[in-house]
Structure 1
Amino acid sequence: MTTAEDLIAAADAHCAPTYDPLPVVVATGEGAWLTDVAGRRYLDLLAGYSALNFGHRNPRLIEAAKAQLDRVTLTSRAVLHDRFAAFCAELAELCGMEMVLPANSGAEAVESAIKTARKWGYRVKGVPAEMAKIVVAGGNFHGRTTTVISFSTDPEARADFGPYTPGFQIVPYGDLTAMRAALTENTVAVLLEPIQGESGVIVPPEGYLPGVRRLTRERNVLFVADEIQSGLGRTGRTFACEHEGVVPDMYVLGKALGGGIVPVSAVVSSAEVLGVFRPGEHGSTFGGNPLACAVALEVIAMLRTGEFQARAAELGERMHRALAALPATGTVTAVRGRGLWAGLDVAPGLGTGRQVAERLRERGVLAKESHGATIRLSPPLVVSEQDLAWGLEQLRAVLGV
């Protein structure tokens, strides 16, 4: 049998070094657990950055994919297929919107949202040609395409990839005064994560999202919510915006929409906004393909029951109750999050976030560091109460409490 060491060496030799993964080579997965090539099991507290909200090989989603594989998997948008209309209609309904623009990756959906906002700005708002501006927040993560990194504040994401795309203004996350000052007659959209994931699960101050919603309405600006990581049950609601009673003009969705099986993403908005497109102005060969639609339709059906949102809320409350005691021990300096999603800043004396993640791996738990000192936890929503408690015990053991 090929060993994990052999497989890691082969990957290092032949794959561009864009990631620095933990030294684990997965062979199988089920629910909240992964098994490596040597047969060792790991509790997955990362869940593919929320792409695996429903766990590994969820039976309902696997069955939906298998059934569609026996029928048709791709047509391109040159013709319609029999799952497409239902996918668009049911996703729009889940979001309380009217229209869907299907895509594949989250970054592609963000790019599509940017194009949509600009097109709307010129055709509907009347912004002069080439003058559209989009306001974003510092510490954001919306993907790694050239346009998206142009408004990133992360040096690792930006360095050596210029020249950068113009048309964006960055303001501090959570600062309504700065947001108000940034909005001008040429602003077409504000693009925000309701909770910033890559930055370390940063929850904005109470009242911030409603304040942004109020400002955007007053200035005739679109509020675009990037719920790629935070949406579809992760925070205990279908969308993180719901916690503050906010409905944006546009949702950007991805990750969990594909059920951990296929890449599926979408922009969801009103007919007024997405209706600005004309045939030939935008497209995607694989966007809205039959296999993607079949899996996503099952994801939507599962979310419609509210079961997974309730589970994330209940287990998330228990997780945060356990984590809340950690700062008093001196092992972490801060704990943030909502639902089954948390960011912990590790105290300097305990090492880097990477070192803590390595120690967790040794104890059979997979988590990932972010920005040096932060550990992110995002268990699958199907994790059992007992398994989650065991995983948190391993975390406490690693932290020495």
Structure 2
Amino acid sequence: MRTQVAIIGSGPSGLMLGHLLRQAGVDAVIIERQSSEHVLSRIRAGVLETVTTDILEDLDIAERMRAEGLPHDGFNLADGERLIRIDIKALTGKQVMVYGQTEVTKDLIDAAPSRGLEIVWEADDVALHDFESDAPYVTYRKDGAEHRVDARFIAGCDGFHGPSRKAIPEAVGKGFEKVYPFGWLGILSDVPPCNHELIYANHENGFALASMRSMTRSRYYIQVPLSDKLEDWPDEKLWDELCRRLPPEGAANVTRGPALEKSIAPLRSYVFEPMRHGSLFLAGDAAHIVPPTGAKGLNLAASDVRYLSQALIAWFEKNDGDALAAYSDKALARVWKSERFSWQLTMLMHRFPEDGPFDRRIQIAELDYVATSETARRAIAENYVGLPL
């Protein structure tokens, strides 16, 4: 098989990139290790910045998002009984959209056949070859046979554990990482949310988050030690601890229900530089991971894809390589700003095992500053809603 761009990975970054390229008449094939059912079973975040919603609008794949998504004008930071609202609409003139990443992925997959975007599912042993040349190719095994895809460029959109970043020689790239000493225990349940906007809570027992996927499906998280296991947290114990950590007006409105899904996710910050080597380009989680506190993972992938698609289209349409040459630096400038915000919010709202009274007083002082300063709230709102591309 021959194509212009071989895309590794069918997460949102790979799917959005494939659709944007096909819309511009650039051939692309997506190669995915898992089945479509497995990809659609993954539970992920659901706060979309304008950069992400704009891509869906530009692709004319936004109808269901407009019908089912929840536009949010703000969110809340809580410390004890205090609730600090960040009015992002008033402070920035923009909104965020609450619409699950699984739903974004489904919309993009459903639209692929009619747009001529080929997706190879259940491709085993994916390997990248000759990407330091102008004639890279990808091999994989499917149904007992080996297949080869020749391309002009390869886009690694295969997540943190995929083969794309790992294929780059250690002498060429470098990773920067911070691992946090806790995880998020999450529960998804078909119950109405406790508040019409998200609540990020700082409690003496640890962080909690009240969020939603719809007006009938809620997603809640609490901070737990990395040593905890799911069996340590039966549903009723989790609900009790969640209500303990949320501010009174949130806790009073929590509706309990059976878990559709429960999981513990470790938190880390990670950036790999550069995001290009030869004819291989990285996008999304293949190049960077952010703690979910700032709601940046999917949105950073979307900004990568916006930059990369524009650069690839310019190369194929005009033989203009300037944007491709600038891609890594341009994407990383936005990545590091989003990493900073996610780290800042994580440090502000969580309790760290090594923290003492001084650290706690700093958190209180920072939250006081946010509560009393429009400038501080505007800075948070600007970062939360998404910095300009």
Question: Shorter-normalised TM-score: what interval?
Answer: under 0.3
TM-score computed with the length of structure 2 as normaliser = 0.25
TM-score computed with the length of structure 1 as normaliser = 0.24
